[in-house]
Chains A and B, each alone.
Chain A
Amino acid sequence: MSEHADNAVKYWKANLRLILGCMIVWAFVSYGCAILFRPLLAGIQFGGTDLGFWFAQQGSILTFIVLIFFYAWRMNNLDKQFGLEEE
């Protein structure tokens, strides 16, 4: 395998790892904290209700924003690191 192709494979693997990590967080806050695990969080009071309700109506949206910017920032750095950014 040439050095160039090897570099590209590494870049793609790093991207997939990053996507996987972000998607675990994405699923954890929305499907996890806001829906499936809500009964487990029922003990944590938050502004007149519980933490699960907050995740469903606010927390997940805020997390999604952070996730996208984090991914964009990391990927744009990876592009440069692997020398694959647009000229």
Chain B
Amino acid sequence: MSQFAINLMFVGGSFLIYIMIAIWAKAGSTKDFYVAGGGVHPITNGMAIGADWMSAASFISMAGLIAAGGYANSSFLMGWTGGYVLLAMLLAPYLRKFGKYTVPEFIGDRFYSRNARFVAVACLIVASVTYVIGQMAGAGVAFSRFLEVDSTTGLMIAAVVVFIYAVLGGMKGITYTQVAQYCVLIVAYTIPAVFISFQLTGNALPPLGLFSTHIDSGVPLLEKLDEVITALGFRDYTADVDNKLNMVLFTLSLMIGTAGLPHVIIRFFTVPKVADARWSAGWALIFIALLYLTAPAVASMARLNLMTTIYPDGVENQAIEYEQRPQWVREWEVTGLIQFEDKNNDGRIQHYNDTPAFADEAAARGWEGNEFVYNNDILVLANPEIANLPGWVIGLIAAGGLAAALSTAAGLLLAISSAVSHDLIKGAFKPDISDKGELLAARISMAVAIVVATYLGANPPGFAAQVVALAFGIAAASLFPALMMGIFSKRVNNKGAIAGMLAGLISTLVYIFVFLGWFFIPGTNNLANTPDNWLLGISPLSFGAIGAVVNFAVAFVVSNATEAPPVEIQELVESVRYPRGAGQATDH
């Protein structure tokens, strides 16, 4: 059976399961559509959050970025897990006690202001749509590679599949399809890692293999990797970073953004009790950690395997002949994500870091430039092929990557649609809308969001993982501070919250647009996106943490200069702090 047929079987088979679950659980009433009847067990909910959470950025992109950056990119690992600590302690239990459907609804009620609710809807839509664009782009690329179609067709297929189960299924469909998706993606991610870890270190557990001895050389794996890549002029894999401020802020941005992303927060409305909301966050992190503890092992092992493939006799000897290149290189060359150019015409693939510091050594070896360029995003998808694993493992990773991208896209679309139908239409323009009408509006807004995201996903505003990190910065700067102050301060009032959210959102967007182009339109940036231009060396990806500080500061100053919130609002804050008296997850 050809690899194409195997891929088709795995991807098709997994999709059939998701769609069947979606149809089986087809939502009937509005309450089911949003919060799955409020009866989801913490472990089930934890898995669904895991699938919601781990997107194309975590599955496809992250290990490739760590492989390229080494220690310096550990921020992704800490940032995208550490946010759950904030969620569990600062938001989840209280929002569950409050017991509403959506995040803007909480902000609107707590800050007794329709305008606050609208600002929250705007923040939610900006952050979520930015995020979905990255997912659609990622799903499109994965589809096109494994189904061997062009990227536009891949994107269209992704849009249709997301549309079917998100629009027809609603939350209940999504909760159970996401449990299935979690299982597919975690199995797909860990199986190749187990094989590779065992091959390289003799330890079948990748997180332990990472710190074990490399069998072939007898030295620790990370030491071997450092030795191989520094011999080719690359930066030491485990080296410390120079700009610690930026690393701290980037990690903080990702953590706060994690806790501020509405598609994750609404998951906590679906557990039966306040105590379960706390457990749910813990279970979610366990399921997420299974991938996040495997990813750094995948990163270092794949990088080492890649170097061994190119220099089969060791880096001090000749590189592989181009004609002898393995099949996976040939296949990825077709997508254009691997490129080879024989600069010194010796028929071999010289891959090294082409910098002035390494020029003398390169010249001594007769090299005339780096000849091998690969996109970091292919690393996880190509990982099983690099390690010569059987065809079914390759099919499995295709299904896993698509599960990750599509499940997150669906979760985000649900958050967008509920904000539009519930907060905008029912909350403002047409309060007397029927259940059926509200459901219809939710489905229409989902469809519109899919069309917009698919359109923008065809020409994404930059690299997928970059777009996703921007979405986190936006959520960190706008929604998280408002939610947290709404619970922990009785003094912050409507004016303070609105001013804070706007200040955080706008300062962050402006900083991003100045470097990356206004509304992400290429060529409209005011300054080149280089560390020299950044304010105090803070990258646009890290600015969300500063935006959050601005948000907190503005909200406090404005609130203290204006009147205190009314007594009934202070009582409301009081009531969300104590679990007793919580209603059903779906009660109004």
Give residues in A with beta carbon < 8 Å to B.
8, 11-12, 15, 19, 22-23, 26, 30-31, 34-36, 38-39, 42, 46-50, 52-54, 56-58, 60-62, 64-65, 67-69, 71-72, 75-76, 79, 83-87
A-B contact pairs, 8 of them (CB 8 A): A22-B89, A23-B89, A26-B82, A48-B223, A49-B211, A53-B238, A60-B78, A85-B580
Q: State how many angstroms separate the Cβ of B136 from the closest Cβ of chain A.
A: 28
Inter-subunit contact A84/B578 (CB<8 Å): yes
Is B88 among interface residues, defined by CB-CB distance under 8 A? yes
Asked if A57 and B88 sit within 8 Å, CB to CB, the answer is no
B85 in contact with A84 (CB, 8 Å): no
Q: Which residue of B lies closest to A25 (CB)?
A: B85
**Alpha-carbon distance between A11 and B574 when the two chains are bound, in angstroms:** 12
Chain B 570-588 interface residues, beta-carbon cutoff 8 Å to A: 574, 577-582
Q: How far is the CA of A60 from the CA of B247 in the complex (A)?
A: 15
The residues of B that contact A65 with a CB separation of less than 8 Å are 282, 285-286, 289
The answer to whether B74 and A56 touch across the interface, beta carbons within 8 angstroms, is yes
Tell me if B85 and A79 are in contact (CB < 8 A).
Answer: no
| Given A48-B221, A57-B77, A86-B273, A35:B251 Cβ within 8 A | yes
Residue B481 lies at the interface, judged by CB distance under 8 Å to chain A:
no
Kindly identify, within residues 206 to 234 of chain B, every residue whose CB is under 8 Å from any CB belonging to chain A: 207, 210-212, 219-224, 226
B578 to chain A, nearest CB (A): 5
The answer to whether B278 and A72 touch across the interface, beta carbons within 8 angstroms, is: yes
Determine how close the nearest CB of chain B comes to the CB of A60; give it in whole angstroms: 5
A8 to B278, CA, bound (A): 19
Q: Using CB atoms, name the residue of chain A closest to B288.
A: A61
Tell whether, in the assembled complex, residue B88 and residue A30 are in contact, meaning their CB atoms are under 8 Å apart.
Answer: no
Check A36–B90 contact: CB distance below 8 A.
no
Query: How distant is the Cα of A86 from the Cα of B276 in the complex, in angstroms?
Result: 11
Q: Which residues of A contact B238 (CB under 8 A)?
A: 48-50, 53
Interface membership of B338, Cβ < 8 A: no
Report A-chain residues with C-beta under 8 Å of the C-beta of B220: 47-49
List residues of chain B with CB within 8 A of the CB of A83.
Answer: 580
Mark contacts of B45-80 with chain A using CB atoms, 8 A cut-off: 1 yes-contact digit, 0 otherwise. 000000000000000000000100001001001100
Is A75 a contact of B247 with CB atoms below 8 Å?
Answer: no
Q: Are B82 and A35 in contact (CB under 8 A)?
A: no
- Inside 8 A of A72's CB, which chain B residues have their CB? 88, 275, 278-279, 281-282
**Is B93 at the interface (CB under 8 A from chain A)?**
yes
Across the interface, do A64 and B221 meet the contact criterion of CB distance under 8 Å? no
Could you say which residues of chain A place their CB within 8 Å of the CB of B247? 35
- Assign chain B's interface to a size class: 35 or more
B84 CB–A CB distance under 8 Å: yes
Is A87 touching B580 in the complex (CB atoms < 8 A)? yes
In B291-339, which residues have CB < 8 Å from any A CB?
A: 292-293, 296
Return the contact of A86 from the options B210, B296, B580 (Cβ within 8 A): B580
A residues in contact with B568, CB < 8 Å? none
In the complex, which residues of chain A have a beta carbon less than 8 angstroms from the beta carbon of B436? none
B240 CB-CB contact with A under 8 Å? yes
**Which residues in chain B, 238-253, are within 8 Å of chain A measured between CB atoms?**
238, 240, 244, 247-248, 251-252
State whether the Cβ of B151 lies closer than 8 Å to any Cβ in chain A. no
Contact between A61 and B89 (Cβ–Cβ < 8 Å)?
Answer: no
CB of B497 closer than 8 Å to a CB of A: no
Residues of A near B281 (CB, < 8 A) are 68, 72
- The answer to whether A47 touches B222, judged by C-beta atoms less than 8 angstroms apart, is yes
CB neighbours (8 Å) of B77 from chain A are: 56-57, 60-61
> Is A61 in contact with B85, judged by CB distance below 8 angstroms?
no
Q: Does B274 contact A (CB under 8 A)?
A: yes
Is A64 touching B84 in the complex (CB atoms < 8 A)? yes
Which of chain A's residues has its CB closest to B90's CB? A19
Could you say which of B82, B275, B574 contacts A8, with CB atoms under 8 Å apart?
B574
Given A26-B82, A35-B244: A48 touches B211 (CB 8 Å cut-off): yes
- Residues in A neighbouring B82, C-beta threshold 8 A: 26, 30, 60, 64
CB neighbours of B581 from chain A (8 A): 86
Q: Top 8 nearest A-B pairs by Cβ distance?
A: A47-B211, A48-B220, A56-B74, A72-B278, A48-B222, A48-B223, A68-B282, A57-B296
Residues of B within 8 A of A36 (CB): 244, 248
Determine if B177 is an interface residue (Cβ-Cβ < 8 Å). Answer: no
For the complex formed, measure the closest distance between the CB of A78 and the CB atoms of chain B, giving whole angstroms.
10
Which residue of the partner chain, among A8, A35, A47, contacts B578 with CB atoms under 8 Å? A8
B186 to chain A, nearest CB (A): 15
- Chain A residues with Cβ below 8 Å from B88 are 68, 71-72
User: Least Cβ distance of B235 to chain A in Å?
Assistant: 14
Closest B residue to A56 by CB, please name it: B74
Q: How far is the CB of A12 from chain B (nearest CB, A)?
A: 6
The reply to whether B222 and A61 form a contact with Cβ atoms under 8 Å apart is no
Distance in angstroms from A85 CB to nearest chain B CB is: 6
B293 pairs with A58, CB closer than 8 A = yes
A56 to B579, CA, bound (A): 35
Closest-by-CB residue of B relative to A70 is: B282
Docked complex Cα distance between A72 and B286 (Å): 14
A76 touching B275, Cβ below 8 Å: yes
Say if the beta carbon of B445 comes within 8 Å of chain A.
no
Closest chain-A Cβ to B271's Cβ sits at a distance in Å of: 11
Expressed in whole angstroms, the Cα–Cα distance for A57 and B71 within the complex equals 8
B81 at interface by CB-CB < 8 Å: yes
In the bound complex, residues from chain A placing their C-beta under 8 Å from that of B577 are: 8, 12, 15
Write out the residue numbers on chain A whose beta carbons fall within 8 Å of the beta carbon of B223.
Answer: 48-49
Extra 5 A-B pairs, beta carbons < 8 Å, given A31-B252, A50-B238, A86-B582: A56-B77, A58-B207, A71-B88, A75-B93, A86-B579
Q: Determine whether the beta carbon of A57 is less than 8 Å from that of B240.
A: no
Given A85-B579, A86-B579, A86-B582: A61 and B78 interface contact (C-beta under 8 Å): yes
* B224: nearest chain-A partner, CB-CB: A48
Chain A residues closer than 8 Å to B81, beta-carbon distance: 60-61, 64
